[in-house]
Structure 1
């Protein structure tokens, strides 16, 4: 799928819980030494030192609301000006209704329509694409794309299972669940003005559903079932991004040297370096958040952009990723 841009980022926001949980502590609690896995495997081999964990009573919408307040202030608009709210989290307050309805009420965005979108870690980039389509059609001018992720719930379910597994293979299947962290992220996407030459320039996305079994979790009558085959996911994601990158640069009419900032989905040191290499960029052009915050799932891109803001006029390349597998590449002028 390919789209041309009619929109621009007007504001970016994030929320990060205060509680820090170290990877080495989680690994020690998992009793990883039973299988010869070092306690510092996640912190040293993957590069995730710690992550933030929200309080038990905190809902996904709470984190999305906090991030959205920041994004609205950054955009210098009132919530009442929003035409649409798109919530993109894997985690939701409930199955029905859409979590975006609570966000609408708490923000006071009573003029906005709202709905939820879900596509694993790729959801936020899909939200931006949908927001652009609404703006291009004239159905909306100001759209809030937001997420609140609480994967710590899965982390602790997996940790309980990891303490009990009896095979190294089963331990390896579930270990990736300890790499995640909680966060909220938001962007205000609005129509370009007549004098605006920036904003979203071009975006393409692609999915290969045959890889869906590489990363999944589900609730069963016995509790939790899931796996995250990190090495295999990285290999397949790299293949998909390699397939797209030449077309992305061609349609943007950019050379790699034109890109000022590269924002990648954050899962660890080696996958990050791989994506940076595919884009033919250097690591100093691609800010990271994974050492302190881990894999923030769908909040990864907005949190990274909030913590490492681009300068006005910067050319941004965004490389999104989600289990399934889904990838996207987008070019923006900030």
Structure 2
């Protein structure tokens, strides 16, 4: 028997039905389809139903992942949820999803790393499998980020959309499974992406609501420079940990933030653009859900087969970043 790794044995995704197009945004702010497309690559994004929360769409994706894995909800021993738009500060969104999918035997907690959350969660889940603590771990990235967007702010409202993706992790034999993980953070730049109010630093008040301090704020120029710098570094570092070369990777799946960021970063990293999967034109930036959503769509498009090496990259608020190499086991 080969070495045991944590591997993905089930994958599920979900996007809301409601579509917000660039043409729709032209009616809300001073923008145009051409302006948005040329600067971001985004044509439309999905918006969650008014009666849904992040846990609702996360639970749908989770149920799909569990179904593909061949397990029952009772077999899940740990749930890790990552989200920039949790249902509430407490309890964790993971525990709410546990209730909704009836995974009554699972421990549950949230990981807060914004758009890099799926990379962080995958790294954490891998440890629990490989150290023998748990056999079946459910990882969910779910976002209702539209609830935190100011639709009079052109800098942010054109970018973000809602969606969810989930994977079930379990023991697999080499060469399959999670090959390597790399994580990083730079708290010196934490102010560049933030939701200022609602925590203990700036408690909610009438003033914070009137001032729009519960909406996402972002310094786009600084985030662009940060992302273009750290994406190549993250790729090089995780490849070094794995003992692999860029040429060994079959498919690169970066966080779907902005096509200009992705194009600039992969050029700097010296990666063949034909090996990079992009679907942000249809969904926008879905934060922590973007990588599993892209992973699911890449598989649907026939771009992933068993044994393929996939390199996942996340980056966002914190500022934080991460990369994971996965040998596809499905």
Fold match (TM-score > 0.5): yes
Equivalent of residue 222 in structure 1, options 210, 225, 234: 210
How many angstroms apart in 1 are the aligned matches of 2:121 and 2:20? Answer: 30
Does residue 301 (structure 1) correspond to residue 291 (structure 2)? The answer is: yes
- Superposed CA deviations along residues 192-238 of structure 1, whole A, max 9, x for unmatched, are 2xx43211111111111112122222332424234222232121122
- Superposed CA deviations along residues 166-210 of structure 1, whole A, max 9, x for unmatched, are xxxxxxxx6124310010111111122xx4321111111111111
Residue aligning to 2:10: 11
TM-score by length of 1: 0.87
Mean alpha-carbon deviation: is it higher for 127-136 or for 240-249? 240-249
Contact 1:13 1:69 survives alignment (8 Å): yes
Structure 1 residue 332 displacement after superposition: 1.5
SS in 1 for 2:277: coil
Instruction: Give the paired residue count.
Output: 310
Residue aligning to 1:23: 22
Task: From the superposition, tell whether residues 39 and 15 of structure 1 become closer, same or farther in structure 2 (CA, over 3 Å).
Answer: closer
How many angstroms apart in 1 are the aligned matches of 2:32 and 2:142? Answer: 32
TM-score by length of 2: 0.88
Residue aligning to 1:185: 165
Residue aligning to 1:319: 313
SS in 1 for 2:271: coil
Task: From the superposition, tell whether residues 92 and 246 of structure 1 become closer, same or farther in structure 2 (CA, over 3 Å).
Answer: closer
Residue aligning to 2:36: 42
Structure 1 residue 38 displacement after superposition: 4.9
Equivalent of residue 92 in structure 1, options 86, 90, 114: 86
- Which runs of 5 or more structure 1 residues have no equivalent in the other structure? 163-173
Structure 1 residue 44 displacement after superposition: 2.5
Structure 1 residue 243 displacement after superposition: 3.2
Residue aligning to 2:151: 159
Does residue 106 (structure 1) correspond to residue 100 (structure 2)? The answer is: yes
How many angstroms apart in 1 are the aligned matches of 2:127 and 2:139? Answer: 13
How many angstroms apart in 1 are the aligned matches of 2:151 and 2:322? Answer: 31
- Which runs of 5 or more structure 2 residues have no equivalent in the other structure? 198-207
Mean alpha-carbon deviation: is it higher for 234-243 or for 118-127? 234-243
Task: From the superposition, tell whether residues 39 and 201 of structure 1 become closer, same or farther in structure 2 (CA, over 3 Å).
Answer: closer
Residue aligning to 2:202: none
Structure 1 residue 138 displacement after superposition: 1.5
Does residue 263 (structure 1) correspond to residue 243 (structure 2)? The answer is: no
Contact 1:176 1:229 survives alignment (8 Å): no
How many angstroms apart in 1 are the aligned matches of 2:93 and 2:44? Answer: 28
How many angstroms apart in 2 are the aligned matches of 1:130 and 1:246? Answer: 21
Residue aligning to 1:78: 72
Root mean square deviation, CA, Å = 1.9
How many angstroms apart in 1 are the aligned matches of 2:187 and 2:296? Answer: 31
- Superposed CA deviations along residues 272-292 of structure 1, whole A, max 9, x for unmatched, are 112322443222211111101
Does residue 124 (structure 1) correspond to residue 118 (structure 2)? The answer is: yes
